[in-house]
């Protein structure tokens, strides 16, 4: 597995994630930049509240 990951990195590709199926031995390498995780409702609420506390509406 380590050799497979190093081989992909040697190509200069941006490795976004790696999935490994331990039952079959299948390795899936996702190439590209990882997208940020969407904010949860709590995180959005906290950001709005912090903004209001600083005087930004």
Report pLDDT for 38: 73
Distance CA 49, CA 5 (A): 43
Q: What pLDDT score was predicted for residue 30?
A: 86
Query: What pTM does this model have?
Result: 0.45
Check residue 23 and give its pLDDT.
93
Q: What is the pLDDT of residue 56?
A: 61
Residue-wise pLDDT for 1-57, tens only, equals 678 778 887 888 888 888 889 899 898 888 887 677 778 889 888 888 887 777 665
Of the candidates 13, 46, 47, the one whose C-alpha atom is nearest the C-alpha of residue 32 is 13
At residue 57, the pLDDT reads: 54
Phi/psi class of residue 23: alpha, beta or left (left: φ > 0; alpha: ψ in -120 to 50)? alpha
């Amino acid at each position: 597995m380590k050799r497979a990951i190093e081989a992909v990195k040697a190509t200069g590709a941006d490795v976004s994630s790696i999935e490994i199926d331990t039952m079959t031995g299948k390795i899936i390498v996702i190439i590209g930049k990882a997208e940020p995780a969407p904010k949860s409702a709590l995180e959005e609420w906290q950001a709005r509240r912090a903004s209001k506390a600083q005087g930004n509406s």
